[in-house]
């Protein structure tokens, strides 16, 4: 699973966002830059590192030995959690897992070296593993 080797701050502040800010489209990482086909998010979500790994596995199984995969997101935000049955107070909990906050329009995965049908099926299966809605995009679509 993906997680940072070293972090400057072990715990981040929550950074609450309004419903409007969550729906605002992404400005970075919105084009297919490395491969020919990609999976683009159409809804906001927090994607955990184990969800990224599950999507990566299903893509690599679907592509076989011929295709190449690029993961365009990296979970670097720590999410803390207090143990079960612990009372309120006594500080913030310990880091539990890492997430990447996805905004609509972000390209999550890219593939190359396979036909469009195979890539479309791989991205459909990967989107099912993620807590967001995604759509299949090609390099030509995102450039226009």
pTM: 0.91
Sheet containing 45-48: give its strands across: 45-48, 94-102, 77-81
Helix H or strand E segment including 114: none
Can you tell me the distance from the alpha carbon of 54 to that of 109, in angstroms, rounded to the nearest whole number?
12
Helix H or strand E segment including 8: none
Q: In CATH, what is the architecture of 30-79+95-143?
A: Alpha-Beta Complex (3.90)
The domain limits of the chain are 30-79+95-143
- pLDDT confidence of residue 144: 61
> pLDDT tens for residues 90-113?
999 999 999 999 999 999 999 999
Size of the chain, expressed as the number of residues it contains:
144
- pLDDT confidence of residue 135: 96
DSSP string, 11-43: S-------HHHHHSPP-SS-S--SSSEEEEE-S
Confidence check: pLDDT of 21 > 80? yes
Confidence check: pLDDT of 76 > 90? yes
Helices (H), the chain: 19-23, 49-63, 116-129, 139-143
């Amino acid at each position: 699973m993906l997680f940072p080797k070293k972090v400057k701050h072990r715990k981040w502040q929550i950074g609450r966002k309004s419903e409007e800010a969550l729906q605002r489209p992404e400005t970075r990482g919105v084009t297919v830059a490395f491969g020919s086909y990609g999976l683009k998010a159409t809804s906001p979500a927090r994607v955990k590192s184990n969800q990224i790994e599950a999507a990566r596995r299903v893509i690599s199984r679907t592509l076989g030995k011929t295709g190449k995969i690029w993961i365009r997101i990296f979970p670097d935000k720590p999410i803390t959690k207090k143990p079960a049955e612990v009372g309120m107070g006594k500080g913030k909990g310990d880091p539990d897992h890492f997430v990447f906050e996805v905004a609509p329009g972000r390209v999550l995965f890219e593939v190359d070296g396979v036909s469009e049908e195979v890539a479309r099926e791989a991205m459909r299966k990967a989107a099912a593993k993620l807590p967001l809605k995604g759509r299949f995009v090609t390099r030509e679509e995102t450039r226009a």
